[in-house]
A and B are shown apart, each in its own frame.
Chain A
Amino acid sequence: MIFDIKHIVFSMIKDLHQKLVNQEITSEKLTEEYFDKIEEKDTEIKAYLSLNKEFALDKARAVDKKIKNGEETDLLAGLPCGVKDNICIEGLLATAGSKILENYIAPYDATVITKLKNSDSVFLGKTNLDEFAMGSSTENSAYQTTKNPYDISRVPGGSSGGSAASVAAEESVWALGSDTGGSIRQPASLCGVVGLKPTYGMVSRYGLIAMASSLDQIGPVARSVEDAAVVLSRISGKDRFDSTTMNTAEKKYEDLLGADISGLKIGIPKEYFAGEGLDKSVEKKVREAIGKYERLGAKIVDISLPSADFSLATYYIIMPSEVSSNMARFDGIRFGRSVGAESEKTGADYTLWDIYFKTRAEYLGKEVKRRIMLGTYALSAGYYDQYYLKAQKVRALIKKEFEEAYKKVDLILSPTSPTTAFKIGEKTENPLAMYLADIYTVTANIVGVPAISVPCGTIEAEGKNLPVGLQLMGKWFDEETLLNAAYVFEQSK
């Protein structure tokens, strides 16, 4: 099957909202159309793990009623969206792509979901991901590998590959993802859509199944920068359930787009273009984008971030360390699959220890176990100083370098991913090669800054046009400048 993908640069959310408000369409009809598209395309794309048809249509009808009654509705009201399956929606499965949560029904709503419910969003279903968001291709999902809608022999990127593919294939208007080392931006780049990782502390992580708590952030995947801005305005803010959220000025980011960018200083870190892993044709597209920014009046500044070289190594200590701690909750005792629950059938007589060891061996996937093992080692007696403490110091070093850089520039520009979408199966046997897919994205998580991936062209490969993404990193809590610069780029010819 060939998927006809339209690249759009207008706000699909505002467009559909207007049609709903003008009563040209109903949310019920729109939602049904999206379920039809999912039925038609998703046997191939495999973006969704589970669907939420009944509740979604109920919600859609409730929104239609509000509109009919002349009530004011939010921009997101009645619009069907996808939610990554590591984000809890009360009463729905939340597998996080893992067998160990195959039967886990979320008992409560994540804060972002509570907020989106207040906006009357319609949740189509839960999207596929690498198990517990650990991966860059969705190939680590315990259930299925999502296909890239631009070329189904290729990966959509990951871990929010289901969310990105659903948006690209028009199986959702927009979708929620989570980003620990690039899991929103890299799949957005590979699927030709917009992906935003907000500043750490901008969006509550309550109800997000934790991977690495000091790096995780929830954010939108959308068709346009304006759509990403609309979603950000509705999911951000301080939350008493996540003490790492900060008090930030509540802004309607979608109303702050389109400001002139002449004089805006954009830093080009030379280290990000020096690596041999960077595909030449990707580099060319990104350099063309830099040229475009220059023509738009931005000031291009060459900068150096020498510690950038240490980012990935820092990430691969801090992340698995936090993973090993967060994954300790999957012990077969309080929720999820357990060999103990099955022992009544099998007649096995397990001790408490057996339940821990066998449940985790049986129901956790190999990448998850690899990271648990790596983190356990890095945190174990005698190695803590050498690995974890050292990594936290290097993290401080990298942050300092960014603080210095942001005295000279407003934004930092780079490719999002060193390559376009790779073939399914190409990197599964070599974990380190897979980790390198995150080389440009992890640093924003390490230092906590906001970052966005915006499409900047396509490259032809084997008769298919594969999207390339441009990454912009902003200053802490300055999503406004970041989104505006991305918007101006997207809107210019």
Chain B
Amino acid sequence: MLSKDQVQKIASLARVEIGDDEAEKYSKELSDILGFVEKLNEADTEGIEPIAHITGANNVTREDKVVSYSNETKENMINNFPEKKDRLNKVKAVF
């Protein structure tokens, strides 16, 4: 069973604020699901390589060049900024 402290630690890693009552609820729900996936321990995976890509695609490359987007697309993107100053995305100070 995950403790409420463990749940708060996970929430902090995930950058989600949760209250004490939510932590309690998550501790039960997450523990239930983790209990269910414990089943995987029964699978014998000795000598099995983990799969990274299901169709076997590997190192797909393309030419490294700048592809310009239309001004319209650029404006559309800028319009989606939650806060902006002129055409710049306004963010809080990092430090």
Contact = CB atoms under 8 A, between A and B. Distances in A.
Contacts of B80: 104-105, 107, 334-336
A392 B51 contact: yes
Contacts of B57: 201, 243-244, 246
A403 to B, nearest CB: 12
Contact of A341 (B7, B41, B82): B82
B36 A373 contact: no
A240 to B, nearest CB: 6
Contacts of B42: 310
Interface string B9-52: 01101111110000000100110111011111111010011111
B36 A316 contact: yes
Contact of B73 (A107, A389, A394, A396): A107
A393 B48 contact: yes
Identify which of B15, B48, B89, B91 gathers the most chain A CB atoms within 10 Å of its CB.
B15
A244 B82 contact: no
Nearest to B89: A334
B30 A377 contact: yes
Interface stretch (A20-28, A255-263, A364-372): A364-372
A351 B92 contact: yes
A204 to B, nearest CB: 13
Contacts of B51: 392-393, 395-396, 399
Given A361-B16, A377-B10, A392-B51, A387 B94 contact: no
Please classify how large the interface on chain A is, using the bins under 10, 10 to 19, 20 to 34, 35 or more. 35 or more
B89 to A, nearest CB: 7
A200 B55 contact: yes
Contacts of A397: 43, 45, 48
B49 A313 contact: no
Interface in A374-428: 374, 376-377, 380, 387, 389-397, 399-400
A130 interface: no
B60 A313 contact: no
Contact of A391 (B15, B30, B33, B40): B40
Contacts of A309: 39
B43 A310 contact: yes
Contacts of A373: 7, 10-11, 14, 16, 26, 30
Interface string B66-77: 000100010011
B40 A338 contact: no
B33 A431 contact: yes
15 contacts: A105-B76, A107-B79, A243-B60, A335-B82, A338-B82, A340-B83, A352-B94, A358-B17, A369-B16, A369-B18, A373-B11, A376-B14, A377-B10, A377-B34, A397-B43
Given A373-B30, A400-B48, 16 more contacts: A214-B54, A316-B36, A316-B37, A317-B40, A333-B91, A340-B82, A360-B16, A370-B26, A376-B10, A380-B10, A387-B37, A392-B50, A392-B52, A393-B51, A395-B50, A395-B54
